Each structure stands twice: as C-alpha cells, then as structure tokens.
Chain A
Amino acid sequence: MKHVITLNVNGDSYRIAVDPWRTLNEVLREDLNLTGTKLGCGSGDCGACTVLVNGKAVSSCLTLAVEVDGKEIMTVEGLAPSGEELHPIQEAFIEKGAVQCGFCTPGMEMAALYLLKQNPHPTEKDIREGLSGNLCRCTGYNKIVDAIRTAAEKIQKK
C-alpha cells in the first residue's frame, strides 16, 4: 500500500503517494524530477547521492522516502535557488577546476556544505575527512579540497 507523505525539498512542499520501499533518491529523481542528485552505487559507498535532511548529510540511496516525511530536504538544486547567483561552494568548484565529469559534483557540494556548516574553518585534514565518503574518479580530489578551502574563505567574507 502506498503512503502519502509530504516532502519539503529546497523550500517547496510536495505531497505524494509512495511505495514504502522507494528510496529518497528514486523519489527525488523520478517523482520530483530533481535529477541533480545522482545515483552512483545504490549502497551508500560513493556519496554521489548525498543530500541534506534536516541539515545533515545523508545518502539518499539508503534513505527511504517514508522516513523523511515532513522533514526539510536540501538538494544541489537548492544551492543557488535564484538560478542566477551561485553559492560560494559552486563558484569555488568552477574556479578551482574541481569539476571534471561532474557526476560526483552535486554530492561533493552537499557534503562540503554540511562540512562547512559544522566547521567553518576546516583544516585540509578536516576537509579530506569530510569528503572521505564521497568518491571521485576524475580529479584525484586535490582540486576539490582546494575548492572547499576557497569556499570557506568566500563564505567568511560574505
């Protein structure tokens, strides 16, 4: 039997009926057409599907949609809600060459957002630890680490 739930995603409220086994990742991508959140492994190992639930980074592929009924969800689409001005994390990812194929990027950005909220002045080690649940096959991570350090500075200046 389907469950009727309310998802608050990036400030918008969606009332939908979902099967109890459907993951948050499936519902975001398929029912809400928010395809910015990716699916890289389906087992919580790669971090490409990372979103924030009530401010905390979670793997949307391991989270059931019914579990987050009524909770505040933020996806990559919520980073620059106006569609014009980019979030400092996004700006820094572009400037520092932290993007190659881009498939890990949304998850990396959400992990970075969580990290910087917890720890606005992270050391390099903090950043690497904060990203250790997010895999990237293209960049070797160094430019991503650099981008997050730069984003932290940008956020401070704002």
Chain B
Amino acid sequence: MKRFNIVGKDIPRADGRAKVTGTAIYTDDIKLPGMLYGRILRSPLAHARILHIDTKKAKALPGVKCVITGEDTPKIKYGNWRLFPNTQDEYPLAVDKVRFIGDEVAAVAAVDRDTAEEALDLIRIEYEELPAVFDTDAALKKGAPLIHEASPGNISLDRKISYGDIKKGFAESDYIREDVFTVHAVSHAYLEPCSTVAQCDLDGRITLWTSTQVPYIVQCLLASTLGMRENDIRVIKPYVGGGFGGKMEMRPWEFCAAFMAKKTGRPVKFTLTREEELATGRRRHPMKIYSKVGFKKDGTLVAKDLKIHLDGGAYNSMGPTATFLSGNFGAMLYRIPNYRYLGQHIYTNKPPAGAMRGFGAPQSLFAAETQMNMAAEELGIDPIDLRIKNAMVTGDKIPDVATISSCGFIESLKEVAKMSNWKRKRRTLRTGRGIGVGCYSFISGGVFNWFNTQYPFSAAEVRAFADGTVHLLTMASDIGQGSDTTLKQILAEELGLKMEDIRITAADTAMTPQADLGSWGSRVTLMAGNATLEAAKKIKEVLFGAISARYNLNVIYDMECKDGRIYAKGRPDRGMSFGEAVALVQKANRGKPLVARGHYTPRGKGLVTPAFSFGAQVAEVEVDRETGLVEVKKMWTAHDCGTVINPTGVEGQLEGSIHMGLGYALSEELVTKEGKTLNTTFLDYKIPSALDMPPGESICIETYEPEGPMGAKEAGEGLVSPTAPAIAEAVCHATGYRCKDLPITPEKILKGLRKK
C-alpha cells in the first residue's frame, strides 16, 4: 500500500483553535446593523383548516416591523426531491391547512426577540379542526382522514426492489422465519439550534447565513420559493454546531428571514429554541418492519422478503430517500440471491421525519441484524459464524444495483470476535451478563440525483501561488465532522505541501465552484475528496511540465511533488520549490494565475453508491434483573472505511456513533400523544451523558477503495446502526428477553422476564 506523508496522520483539526477560543462564529453569533428578530407562530392543532388569520393587532404592536402568513407569500411548494415535483408537498408557511402540531403558520419580525414573541400572542387564527391520524396503521385504514389531497390512502410514495425469485427462494429454504419489528422516533439533538440571518443587498439579492448541511440546496429552493433566480441568492455556511441529517433541507425560517429581509430592507435573524427543535423538528423515521427470511439448514441465506411502513409525519421531507435506502440497507451486508422489498412512505399528523445519521439504516439494520441473531439461535449456529458464512466480499455484485469494490466485512467480524473474546464469553458469562453482535454496511454518498442538480455532485477549485501556498475553494460543508481538515490533508498530500500551506474557503455559494450537494449520506470525503484530488492533479501536471521544460528533461522522466519541492524523481537536483515552480508557470503564461478545477459525479456505479463501508460491533451488558436497568460494560468495534485519512477524526466519528446508537437503543425517544411531542427539554429527552458512555476498543480494517480519494470511503455514519442490535442481542443473551421494539426500556425487560 502507498505510503503517505499527511494522509493517515493525526493532524489536529484546522478549526480547533477558533473553536476552543470561542472565536468561531456560528449563525446566531452574527449581529448586523438594524437587524430584526424573527419568531414563528406554529399550529397548536394536528390537522385543521385555516379559516381566518387576523394579524392587525400584532402589526400594531410598537417595534413590530413585519408580519407574514402564507397568503403574503408566492405560495410555491418545495422539497428536496426536485426531480419529482409531485413529492414537493410543503409550503414555507401553511396555506389553507395545517398538518401537524408545530406546522409553521405565520412569522413576525420585530426590533427585539421579546417584542416578536409578544406579537405572536396577538395573532388570531380561526381553525376548523379536522380528524387526524397518528400512526401508520390508522393512516392506512379505509376511510382514514386524508392528509394531502394528492396522496390517496395517505401513501406518499412506494419503493420496490426485487431480484432473484422470491417464491423459489422460500421454496428452497429449510428454515423460514417471519417477524415484525417497530422502531421509534429520535431527535438529532445537535447542540446548536437552527439559526438563520438574511440580508437584502441594494440590488435586491439575498445573502443568507444559515446553519445548514446543504448550502446549494438551500440556495436553489430559496430561489424557487421566492420566485427569484438561483444566482440572486448567496448562501454562506458559518460554523455549524452539528447536523446529523437534521439540517439538510431548506427550512421555513430560512424562507421567512429572506422574504422579510426583502420586505423590510433590514437584516432578519431567526433562531429556534430547544423546545421548538424537540417539539416540532425533524426526527428519525419510526418504522414498522415486516421481515421474512429463509435459510438452508447449514445457515446459507436464500431469500428475504421485506416490507417497511415508514411513519413520515405530515410532509415528505427526506422520507423518499429513507424509503429507498431502507430497502437497500436491508440487503447490503449478506449475499441474498432472492430479495424483495416494498417500502411505503406514509403520512401521519405528526412532525415530519427526515434524514438522520444512517438515513434508514439504523431502523432497517436493527430489524435485519436482530433477525439474524434470532435465526442463528434457532439454527444452532454462532451468530458471528452465521454472518461470516453469508458475508459480502470484495467483487460481489447485486445485479443492476451495486458492485462491492472493497469490503473488509469478514475481517471485521473475525477481528471483533477476537477483541471481545466472543466465543468464550458467549459460553461462560454469568446470568445477568450478556454479549451480542450487530453489523452494518453503509454508503459513501448516493448515486441518485433526486435533487436534479445540473452541476457535478461535487466540485473544487485549487489556486496555486508563487509564495508556496495553495487555496482550495469548495462548496463542501464542514458541519463539525471535520471535512475541511480532511480535504486540506488530501490536497497537501497530493501536492507535497504542509497543512499550513493550504488555505480553504468553503460552503459559500457565491465564492466556491458549482456545486456540491452537501454533507449527508457520508458523501464528502469521497466526492469532494475526488474533486479536490482531480484539481490538484491538474496543477501538478502543469508544474511538472514547467520543470521538465526548465531542465530540458527527457519526457519519460517521472516527476514528484514532495516536501514543498517539485523535481525529477531520479534526479532530485533537477527541480525547485513549489512556489518557484508556480512563479515559473505564471511567467510562462505572462501573468495568468495558476488555477485548476476538479469535479466528481459518480459514473457506472449502479443505483446506490460509489462505495460501501462495512463493520461489526460487539456489546457486553449487565442487566439488573430487579430493575431492568441495562448497563453497557464495553463496546468493541472493527470497521472498514478504506484508507484512514485522519485517525483521530475517524475515532471521533466512531465514538460519536456509539453515543448516538446507545441513546437510540436505550434512552432516547420522542414521545408523542395525539401528535403532540411531550418531551421537549433535554431533561426529558435523554441523550447519554459522559457518565453513560461505556469504554470501547476499536480497530480499522484498512482496505483500499478504488473509487475513493487515496482509497478512502465512508466512516462514522454507518456505525450508528450496529449498536442497537448488538445491545439488544446482549440483553437477550443476559436475560432471555428479545427486544423487537426499540427502545429497550427497563419496563419492557421486566415485562419480558415475567412472561418467561
């Protein structure tokens, strides 16, 4: 394997100093002269017709500068699935109807937050309440209230995947089992509440600073909902305090800030409260998962029939993608010759579910991996052995869907078994203690283009300077995961420079090359990395040419960029510093700056992703049989993320995944009653604290992904999936209680134990 100088090294984060000193500017830190403060009025009803809105009193309150309702806006629907306009089902502010408790109805901008808040109380709305539905079974019943006119039966979208012969597969199976799993809603719970500042320029253009994962998508959808042209909107992403999928759409407050800035001529800021975030914000899809699997006696997987009902809440949001991906994740880990999937995205009168770390995988894999553990038990095969028997390997193909071009899954399974002392512990742990396994496969960005971008999936511009520095411009969005550092490492490595030689400007739609679809689906390292690498290679080639000409080198000579120099590989004396070489090129071109563009759009990679990552995780738990309380004693993880670009970064992603997976398994749940979210503070919505985190051990199985930059692929998003099934299996091993409906609560364990 190729030796790297900067890639694979523990390079501290590029933004570390700004963040530890408190000088990093997040959106809510921005204050502009004359700025107004916005607040949103939300529906108190789950489903109702809006009969009348009276804003007179609110408008008359001193200090209030602008009040808008849906009627004041251009009434243009939006949604991320631009390619299929019938999926765009949301207005920035409700028109005619509200569909969930929290649906945005009106907005106020005032000289300060208190005045804006006061004005909300003065808006009078007359509603006609309509019957509502709160779960997928009720939504699918004949005669159920219709949430969107365009979607009869409340099904917004179907997704089917089918290959092999499912009937034949089950006919050939010796052992068949069918199970129903349910999973719950959880919150992204990023620490930074959503915030947006909009300013209108003298020529009518809008500049929007916003806490987003997708500046380009916000730019486009803001333009379409405002009836403006894309280039009339400039979106700048300041530092972002986490996203996890919750900030990957245009949101109503972004529209309101821009619309009201235009209307008032003054900058407008909206910042959500934590209560708004938890009560009305996007969440991970609750799902009902019907899964039937067939095996041969020896454990060979033969067939799988999967049906999933996604509880989408009131709007599509990112549900269509989750519907698609849940089906893919249902069959990505193992060779399943006969597979059928039906996913249905169903409307209910609840806050919409959207993308959240794993994007369908945590749900789909909780079911798939739990079922694998149940099958192992009944077939009398060790769960890890059963997985090894059926595991995907490098070169495996799913016809017309995907090719696995690198895969360290079996190695991960073997390694995690060794690290955790699996075989011995499965046999010898005392009652109350248990050990369990869960696995994942994940995407490195999507191949699909539902956003219908007319640009490359990712792009980069590299400018080289005679002072020995280079400047990288990219729309890729660092939302805390560290992509700015990763991209700088890739660029420094390729050009033989140091980290301090690289400047970066990122995620400003007016300054960085078109385009980038954003930070989601673990796409940035592979896609923006490839775009950056291509631009760097072009720069290198020009510099090599200049050195070759300067020293009259034989054209067959190999050249190299290393340690800030560019030279002939066999004759290191024939060369010069990077900056001198750039100066030479500029002179040769009579002053023209040395700039190169790179871009990446996946080609010929099937329907899902350019590259898959894999991994396995083992959890050991202790269950108190009197209280039902689960304590996770330790987690072991082995995962294959291709070339590791920044080991500390990958470890941080892994540990963060365990945190989120632990919450998903044991402590987090957005509880709703008739559409109303009941736990709207961090006191009631329990993300794990420092005291709850188990110790862990992990290992990266290094593979080389041919499609990735320097062999890299996804790290850290897929890892959120195996934790819940691993803990569920460990609890079962400890107590005999088998959880098929997350989260695993003490109540459920005690009830389960009593049944036995």
- Where the two chains meet, the residues of A that have a C-beta atom closer than 8 Å to any C-beta of B are 29-30, 33-43, 45-46, 48, 75-77, 79-80, 83, 86, 89-90, 93-97, 99-106, 109, 127-129, 131-145
Q: Are B652 and A135 in contact (CB under 8 A)?
A: no
Nearest A-chain residue to B25, judged by Cβ: A35
The docked-state distance in angstroms from the alpha carbon of A77 to that of B29 is 14
The docked-state distance in angstroms from the alpha carbon of A106 to that of B19 is 8
Nearest B-chain residue to A148, judged by Cβ: B690
- Interface presence of B241 (CB below 8 A): yes
Among A90, A97, A131, A138, the residue within 8 A (CB) of B690 is: A131
Q: Are B26 and A103 in contact (CB under 8 A)?
A: yes
Q: Are A77 and B22 in contact (CB under 8 A)?
A: yes
Name the distance in Å between B182's Cβ and chain A's nearest Cβ.
25
Q: Are A141 and B659 in contact (CB under 8 A)?
A: yes
- Interface presence of B687 (CB below 8 A): yes
Q: Nearest 4 pairs between A and B by C-beta?
A: A36-B22, A101-B480, A103-B241, A102-B19
The docked-state distance in angstroms from the alpha carbon of A142 to that of B697 is 12
- Interface presence of B302 (CB below 8 A): no
Among B17, B24, B188, B648, the residue within 8 A (CB) of A97 is: B648
Q: Are B656 and A138 in contact (CB under 8 A)?
A: yes
Q: Are A132 and B689 in contact (CB under 8 A)?
A: yes
Q: Are B16 and A80 in contact (CB under 8 A)?
A: no
Interface string of B223-244 (1 = CB under 8 A from A): 0000000000000000111101
Interface string of B5-25 (1 = CB under 8 A from A): 000001011011111111111
Q: Are A100 and B696 in contact (CB under 8 A)?
A: no
- Where the two chains meet, the residues of B that have a C-beta atom closer than 8 Å to any C-beta of A are 10, 12-13, 15-26, 28-29, 31, 188-193, 239-242, 244, 273-275, 479-482, 648-649, 651-652, 654-660, 681-683, 687, 689-691, 693, 695-696
A-B contact pairs, 16 of them (CB 8 A): A34-B22, A35-B22, A38-B241, A41-B681, A45-B682, A46-B274, A75-B22, A76-B21, A96-B648, A101-B191, A128-B693, A133-B689, A134-B690, A137-B191, A139-B656, A141-B693
Contacts of A96 in B (CB 8 A): 648
Given contacts A36-B23, A106-B22, 12 further A-B contacts (CB under 8 A): A29-B29, A38-B26, A40-B274, A41-B681, A42-B274, A96-B648, A104-B241, A137-B242, A138-B480, A141-B659, A142-B695, A143-B651
Q: Are A101 and B681 in contact (CB under 8 A)?
A: no
The docked-state distance in angstroms from the alpha carbon of A135 to that of B190 is 10
Among A43, A105, A137, A141, the residue within 8 A (CB) of B19 is: A105
Q: Are B17 and A94 in contact (CB under 8 A)?
A: yes
Contacts of B273 in A (CB 8 A): 42
Knowing A137-B244, A137-B656, A139-B655, the reply to whether A101 touches B22 (Cβ < 8 A) is no
Nearest B-chain residue to A75, judged by Cβ: B22
Among B16, B190, B193, B660, the residue within 8 A (CB) of A94 is: B16
Q: Are A36 and B274 in contact (CB under 8 A)?
A: no
